[in-house]
Every structure is written in C-alpha cells, then in structure tokens.
Structure 1
C-alpha cells in the first residue's frame, strides 16, 4: 500500500515538474513575441517619421519631388536690364498641361472638354496620345493663367499641370532683334540671349549652379526710352513711305555703345510665330547692302588722309567717266571742276571717282578695310553678316566703290566707321554692353588724323545746313549728315525706282557724341510728285528721331549762331 502511494506521489511530482516546465517555456515564448512586436512597431514608427519629415521638408522648400513633377521645367536665366536699370527680359513661372492616359476612363470626354478651352489642340493627335499606353504625355506647353483656371474647372481625371519657366519681354517687339529669344526650354536661340548662353551659362546649368536667383542681371548699353522712340519712328516711316523695310541705330561716338537699334519688320519674342520669316531678319547687323553715297564719307576722308587733298583741292567733274560699258555721271552735275568741299556737298560721283583714282586701288581697298567695312564686324550680337566684295579689286571696282556701289556691308558697321572718322579719328567696334570712355580708349584703333576728322566734321555740318541733310537739321542740336541713295539689285541688275536709302547723322558736330544711321528699303513717294531718294524719307526720319531723343541722349540744345562752319573751314585748310 505504502509502495503504491510512493509511486503515486512520485508520478504527481514528475507531472507537476513537467507542467511547470511547459508553463515556463510558454512564458518565455510570449516574452520573445512581445519583443518582436515592439521592435516591429519601432521600425514602422521610424519609417513613418522619416516620411513625415521628408514631406515637411518638401512642403517648405523648392526641392524637387522624386517624380520631378513639382520642379519647374527649363533652366533659369539672368534678367536683362537697360543702362538705367529698366527690365528688358525676365523669367516667369507658368503651367503646362500634361496627361496620364492610364488614368483617363473616358478619352472622348476629355478631348471634347479640353477643346472648349484649347480649340487649337489637334483633335486626332490629342485623341491618339490619350489612347496610348504611355504614363505621361504633354498636351500643351506654357498655358496662360486663364487657360489653367478654365481647365481646372473642368475637373478632368488624369489631367495635371507642371510648372515651367518662360522668358518674358516687357517691351514686346521693341528690342526683338537685339535681345533675341529663347526656345521652349528657355535656352537662348538668338540675339543677346544666345550670347549670354555662350558666356558660360550652359556650363553653369549643367553643373547644377544655374538655379533661380543665382545670377546678377546682365546690363546692356541700350536705353529703353531711346529704343522706344527709334522703334516708333520706324513704324511710322514704314507706313508713311510704304517701305519694304526700315531700320535705325544710335551709337555713342565716344564709346561705341549701341543705345538703340531696331529693324522692321520685326516680331514679338513673347509670341515668335513669325520670327523665322525671311523678311524679319535684323537688317542692321545681319543684312548687307550697298550703302550708296554715305560711303563718300570714307572716300573723302581717304583722299585727305592718303591722297594729300584738302577742302580746296580741285577735281574735274565736267565730264562723265567711262567704266567698261558704263558711264559714271552725276545726278545733279555742275558740269565743271569741283573743290573737295563741293564734291561732298553735291555728292558728285565723278568727283568721288577722281578721289579714289588719286589714292589707287590697293590704297582704297586698304582704307576701307581699316575702316572696318570689308571684314566681319566684331560685337556681342551673334547675328552679324560678312560684307560682300569682289574677289579681285580692279580700277572699275575702286571707282564704283568710291560712291557706294560694287560692295555691300552692314548698316551697323557703316555707322561705326562714320563714328570713327568724326570722333577725332578713333575706330571702335560697336558694343551692346556698357563701356566707359576709358575702356573705349583701350580698344580704339586710329583710322584718320585729327586734321582729317575736323575737316569731315565741317563737311558733315555744312551738308546738314545747306545740303541733302537739311531735313534732319533739328534746331539747336547742330546736326550734320550725309544721304545715300542706292538702286537695289533685282535679278542681277540695278532696278530704277527701287532704292535702298540711307542717312547718317551726327550731333553735336563741334564734338560729335552720337551717330544716328537709318535705312528705308524700297520706299514709295510720301505724296504724288514727291521723290523717293534718301533726302525725301531717310533724312526726315533721322530728324524725327533726333528731335524726340535728343533730350534723353543728354545733348544740350544751343540756339546761338553756328560759328563752327566759318572757324572749321579756315582751320581745315
């Protein structure tokens, strides 16, 4: 009996120990499970904290999101300002419309509703894009704020907006040919916009440094007030004379700075749909033409500088000169020998030819090269044409070149050359950036002596008072000038009654500060019976510009007697 009880207690004791072991094992397992749960909660909590922190950072900064949809497309550019700080070009943030075709349940509805806001969208192309399997497609780049508002009001699924950078030009078309324009991705295509890219902006953007606010404004030499006047007067001249084209430039004769330059017809860089049409080119720097009798400025200066002539030197202009099968004659010939002064005042082709013969072929060509008329002009503007000239210069070439035929150059470099002759003989390459007189002196090249320059200033003033420049002689501003009327070459031949007219003016003539050069291409008579020469249209156009712009240029009017003519005439001899 006792033996059985002992076995029973032993069995119960063993069973209790086993139960205790099981309970202890289960407790340990539960502890490990709770630890794993806590660890999992900690990990998930940390992940959500990181996500939340990132969302807060993105909410308070301009950092791009992972998919890039909040980052503006395109690259930032520096603002462009005029010499007085007026804004000429800047970046704007705009919205562009995109679609995610996979999220669009009814393509027909989307296309139909979008066409009510954007009627220019091509129906079939848009439908094909939205029916595709792409995850992202562009529908319309750079919307107006009104278009974005109206599309948002449609509430279309799968349609979104992405910010972009768009270049904006407050002046519209007024400075189109100087400022140029950018493409849809805000990269410079022409004008000073292209020049800015060429100065290292592209490299900065590729290195990640070209972000908004990273650039100082680019300051140009232009004066927005003067530019407006030039553009406005050219617009009026186009209509008044029914001209094919017109253009104008104002240069600071002391520094070579371009204060204003425009060419018509132009385009609006904010909406450049017609910018590539051939008649929209910049005729002032990217187009070459025969500059007519304005070239006699260089011929006359050359005769004095290289040929030893003075204002009283006589040239026989009594008979025409035969050049090959052509006869060189004067439009308003006097039929007698002329002094150098009279050759310039009466714009004698025969006298100019005799001046060229005095110097010789090589001397003539070399002087025009020294004046910068036969080589490609050096300036910041990318659109610069290369002058055209005969491969071989002969005596007939020199004779016709003496009065502005037989070679073609750009109006801008013609203006720069004239400035070099009148500004005491220092040739300056034109610049569209601000340049001081000290900086200009460091890069100037001598073209004529002070004596020759003084004589040419006298001739310009004389012609402005008594000759073909009378219609540009604005009282008080002491304007001098020279007309140029060249028959246009059409189908390889000079065409009568189709002129390319030029007028070059300078002021004030006692010490020229500014050169104004304008062109009028193929004008018609202002009124029946009126002429179509430069005297009738280009000269009064320049006069209108000078009258309005003179005060902005800082020229002080002087209404006392013009003693310069008598004094300069005596000294120049």
Structure 2
C-alpha cells in the first residue's frame, strides 16, 4: 500500500512520466484488441468445424448416400446331423467410391482394372462422374483384391466390411443348403426356408446378433451326401446322361439323409446357378417315373382286398384300347401271378391290376400316398405333380405302368417308403427329426399285410428280376427298375429314356430307401444296354455299398437276399 502511494505521488509530481504512461496505455489497448480479434477468428473456425462434425454425425446413412449397416444381415450357421459345418458367415470387404472426391475418373478406372479386370468401364465411369456422395463399385472382394486396391492409392475410394456366406462343402449339398444373394438374404434351398421362419424379421429389427443365432441342424449326413454326389457325377459321365440324381431316405422318420442332382453349381461362385440345366431334379423336376410306379399298382391291388399274391392275370396277348396297344417289353406270353407281374415288369399285368381296382380307386390310392399332391417339406423348390383332369380307362391303364402322370423322384421315394415301413406315409424332412416326432405326423395308408407283401416282391425282384444289378452282398437289397420313354414334342421318343431305380434295405426290416435317376442315359459301351438296370440300378448299388456302414446297417450274410414268401391268402 505505501509503495503504491509513493509511485502515485511521484507520477503526480513528474509531468513527463504522465505522458509516457499514457502512450503505454494506448499501445497496450491496441495489442489487446489484436489478440481478441485473432482469438475470435480461430474460435469461429473451430466452431465451424465442430458444427460440421456434429451435422455429419447426426444425419442418417440414407441422407448421406451410404448404404445401411450390414450388421443386421447375420445368419445362423447350418450344420449336418453330426454338426459338420455346411454354411457360415464370413467377413468381407466391399469397395465404394465418393465421386465428389475423385480427381480423375479415367485414371481411377485404369488403375482399378489392373486389380479388377472384369470391371465394367462405362458403368464405372458413369458412377464416378455422377457427383454422388456414395456409390458401390464392387461387392465382396477377396483379401488380396482389397490389399491390391489399397496399394493403388486412389483418393476417393474406400471399403466397408460386410458379411457373406461361405459353404465349406461347395457343390456337394448345393441344392439342399441353397444360396444367399449379395445382401446375405436366402434365395433358395434351406437358406430361403430359414429366412421364412423369422430370420428376415430379426434382420429388419436389428436383432440378428450372431451370438444369439443357434445353428440350424439338418437331417443330412455330409458323409453320405458326399457319396451320393460322387456316385451320380460318375454315373452321369459313365452313362453319357444329360443329368442324374439320387436320394437316401430314412423310412422310419422321413429324414432325408442325402439328396443330390447333377449338373449343379458351386454356391461359393454361383455364376451358372441360373442355367437351364441347373435344376434340383429330385424335388423340382417332374417326370413320368415308368415301371417304378408298378410298386404302387401292385400295392394298390393287394391293399384293395380284391387281389392276393396268388392271383393270376392273363398276359398272353397285348391290350388294345382305342388306338393304343399295350405290350410287354419282355413278354412271357402266359398267365402271371402278382409276384411275376412285378419281377417281369409286365405292363399288361399291371394294367389288369388297375382294372381290378377301378378308375376311382386307382386315383384315390395315388392321392392317398401323396404321389399326386404337392409335397409338404421345408425345401422351397418343390414341383406340383400333374395328372389328367378327368381319368378315363386309358389313363388308368397307362398310369398303372408309369405313363400319363408326372411326379417328382423324391415323392416317389416317399411313397415307396410307406410301402415297406409297415404302411405309414411320413412327409419328408430336411431337418433332424426324432422317431417320436415322426410317429406324430405319420399317416396309415396301407395295411401291414400289404407292406409285408411289398417287401417280399422287392426282395424277389432283386433275386430273380430286374433288380439283380443293385444287389450288395450282406445288405439284403430289394427294389424296382423304371425305364420310361420321354415325351418329346408331344410324342414318346424311342431313343430318349428317363431311368429310375428304387431300392430298399435291409429287406427283412427296411431302414432306408435309395432312389436313383439317370436322364437320357446311353449304353456305357457299344453292345451294352441302356435300361435302368444297366445304369440307375448300378448307381444305387454303389451308393448302398459305400454308405450302408455309415448309416449303421450291419452286414448279414446268413440269408443272402432270400425272399421269404408271405401268406398267399
């Protein structure tokens, strides 16, 4: 306080000091003003930047032109009945551009083409010159492609992490597992089925957290699936067919253990999945199944009570109806018992079995077995069978030996399973199913006695008839061939057949049905046959020989394929 007073007194006494002090105050004021102005400028700059950041952070993706987050497109793993992985999500990078930041579109495209040679130059150029805030250039790159593009150093390009589907088994189970599109949404097979069970709703709501999605367990056994796929691929080439297929079905539960059709595609690179010949022929293909239908005709006649195994039919001469004449391929020219009609595959005998039942009874029986109904199962690719709008006598006669109606090979297998499992129709499933669950949905369609008789004629046909080529030592296989002429331009072709073989094993207590097909097969070598026994039957034999042990069927050599005669009454 004393010091301040003394300084003040001295200033009052010295006029010069007053002048100097005033000048100092004036200069100091200008300096403070400059500092404040500088601070204000910097403050306004930073405020503008902060405001812009807040704005960019507050706008949604759609407003900025960027796509929505891919988090909601997670999918559950798909596994086989043993837990083997069939489909899973993997992370992948997708390339985008911000055209407003692209300096030279031509240069950018030229550089990108060194990494992505398939890039569409004109389309990409238009995107880069659009002035948009965001455009996709290439989805789902490989890690190497991503790294190579980063090395190009093109400003205005960026990557977003997405999810894509990976299928470890490749084409082996392609038609069952199915496909997803570029946005990881199921578009075929079990992938599409899963979306329809609520996954798509979870994705839309943002609740499809991969940690909460339990794996979907299918009924198929990947080991058996590999065998089936391998054998039909080999068979298609060996018999010069345009297509082939097979299914392995559990007759007790209706579970599909394996099913494949070739030609097929690799779901990891499905560039040809839409080609005309890429069709799941087992469930989505409609065919006249030929003499395999005699299984249903024989069962129908026996189940009607009007026919027994000892009943005989006159097959001494062809049947003439209208302008059609029904012949036997290898006619015996005599009366045939029901087992003989079956093992000699007599068209005449089968026609007379149908006549014994009647037109309405015939139609009702095939509908009862589901052969002419659209099959109910999880797989979306299921064709609806065809039949005459009005059944006449000629229709019943031709349908008796497999002409005049079209159904799917899988439905044929399911119907045959009902004939050998005690008489229960069980709709097929591609999901794991317990015996109790199967019993709950099973429908009785034929009697136990009819089922016993069908097991007998199946075994007899493998011992003495057209099923001999399908026998596998130790596994007591029974079955029926089917060689059907294909309809070409409205007429039956003499040189284009659709061949099938349905097998059941072991015949004393059948556990599995194996149905194989060969579309337009040719003779393996000049001079050899091209009927179902020569191709579809052999494919079935190979599948059973390789897979029976994996399916838990123990070999038994004590009564090799001996058909035990059931009651004739």
Match status 1:84 vs 2:111: no
Q: Aligned with 2:386: secondary structure? A: coil
Measure, in 2, the Cα distance between the counterparts of 1:74 and 1:457. 52
Measure, in 1, the Cα distance between the counterparts of 2:131 and 2:66. 20
Specify whether residues 570 and 210 from structure 1 end up closer, same or farther in structure 2 by C-alpha distance, changes over 3 A only.
closer
Q: Find the partner of 1:555 among 553, 556, 567.
A: 553
Measure, in 1, the Cα distance between the counterparts of 2:403 and 2:470. 24
Q: Which residue of 1 aligns with 2:202?
A: 204
How big is the alpha-carbon RMSD for the aligned residues of Structure 1 and Structure 2?
2.7
Q: Find the partner of 1:464 among 456, 462, 479.
A: 462
Q: Aligned with 1:153: secondary structure? A: helix
Q: Find the partner of 1:286 among 277, 281, 284.
A: 284
- In the superposition, the TM-score normalised over structure 1's length comes to 0.88
Measure, in 1, the Cα distance between the counterparts of 2:225 and 2:82. 13
Query: Counterparts in 2 of 1:315-464, with a 5 A limit?
Result: 315-464=313-462
Measure, in 1, the Cα distance between the counterparts of 2:70 and 2:149. 20
Q: Report the more deviating stretch, 534-543 or 272-281.
A: 272-281
Q: Which residue of 2 aligns with 1:99?
A: 97
Q: Aligned with 2:179: secondary structure? A: coil
Tell me the number of residue pairs that the alignment of Structure 1 and Structure 2 aligns.
Answer: 527
Q: 2:473·2:560 contact (CA, 8 Å) conserved in 1?
A: no
Instruction: Report the CA distance between 1:346 and its aligned residue.
Output: 0.4
Query: Counterparts in 2 of 1:23-422, with a 5 A limit?
Result: 71-72=69-70, 75-422=73-420
Q: Aligned with 1:458: secondary structure? A: helix
Measure, in 1, the Cα distance between the counterparts of 2:294 and 2:518. 19
Q: Aligned with 1:569: secondary structure? A: coil
Structure 1 regions of 5+ residues with no counterpart? 1-11, 13-22, 24-29, 56-65
Measure, in 2, the Cα distance between the counterparts of 1:174 and 1:374. 29
Q: 2:463·2:561 contact (CA, 8 Å) conserved in 1?
A: no
Q: 2:375·2:382 contact (CA, 8 Å) conserved in 1?
A: yes
Q: Which residue of 1 aligns with 2:61?
A: none
Deviations 1:246-272 (A, max 9, x none): 110000000000000011111111111
Q: Aligned with 2:451: secondary structure? A: helix
Measure, in 2, the Cα distance between the counterparts of 1:557 and 1:496. 40
Instruction: Report the CA distance between 1:106 and its aligned residue.
Output: 1.9
- In the superposition, the TM-score normalised over structure 2's length comes to 0.88
Flag as ranges the 4+ runs of structure 1 deviating above 3 A. Answer: 66-74, 570-573
Q: 1:296·1:352 contact (CA, 8 Å) conserved in 2?
A: yes
Measure, in 1, the Cα distance between the counterparts of 2:451 and 2:439. 17
Q: 2:247·2:258 contact (CA, 8 Å) conserved in 1?
A: yes
Measure, in 2, the Cα distance between the counterparts of 1:287 and 1:148. 41
Q: 2:286·2:408 contact (CA, 8 Å) conserved in 1?
A: yes
Q: 1:80·1:219 contact (CA, 8 Å) conserved in 2?
A: yes
Structure 2 regions of 5+ residues with no counterpart? 1-11, 13-24, 26-31, 58-63
Specify whether residues 570 and 289 from structure 1 end up closer, same or farther in structure 2 by C-alpha distance, changes over 3 A only.
closer
Q: Aligned with 2:295: secondary structure? A: helix
Measure, in 2, the Cα distance between the counterparts of 1:285 and 1:379. 10
Deviations 1:103-131 (A, max 9, x none): 12222221111111101011122122212
Q: 1:480·1:506 contact (CA, 8 Å) conserved in 2?
A: yes
Q: Aligned with 1:481: secondary structure? A: strand
Q: 2:377·2:427 contact (CA, 8 Å) conserved in 1?
A: yes
